[in-house]
């Protein structure tokens, strides 16, 4: 079984292990809406667009909309 440092080390983005660990934390915090995208970018020391691109590279789907907002938007 891999420990979290091994998982972080295997991420294809960022060179430093600390940055890799931060992005794992941020993914969880973003998905549970504990932090905003802007705050996540601030923590990573990058801009919001770069964080969105990083999430995309990792295959993480992130939306500013809540699931209810997304359903409402699809009905329009």
pLDDT of residue 20: 78
Q: What is the pLDDT of residue 39?
A: 92
- Residue 40: name the closest of 63, 20, 29, 32 by CA: 29
User: Which residue stretches of the chain have pLDDT < 50?
Assistant: 1
So what's the pLDDT on residue 73? 54
Q: Which tokens in the block code for residue 49?
A: 């667009």
Q: Tell me, which fold does domain 4-75 have in CATH?
A: Arc Repressor Mutant, subunit A (1.10.10)
pTM for this predicted structure: 0.68
pLDDT of residue 58: 82
- In angstroms, the CA 76 to CA 72 distance is 7
Domain ranges of the chain: 4-75
């Amino acid at each position: 079984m891999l420990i979290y440092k091994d998982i972080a080390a295997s991420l294809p983005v960022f060179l430093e292990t600390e940055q890799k660990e931060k992005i794992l934390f941020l993914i969880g915090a973003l998905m549970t809406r504990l932090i905003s995208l802007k705050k996540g970018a601030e923590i990573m020391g990058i801009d919001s667009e770069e964080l969105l691109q990083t999430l995309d590279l990792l295959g993480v789907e992130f939306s500013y909309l809540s699931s209810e907002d997304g359903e409402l938007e699809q009905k329009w």
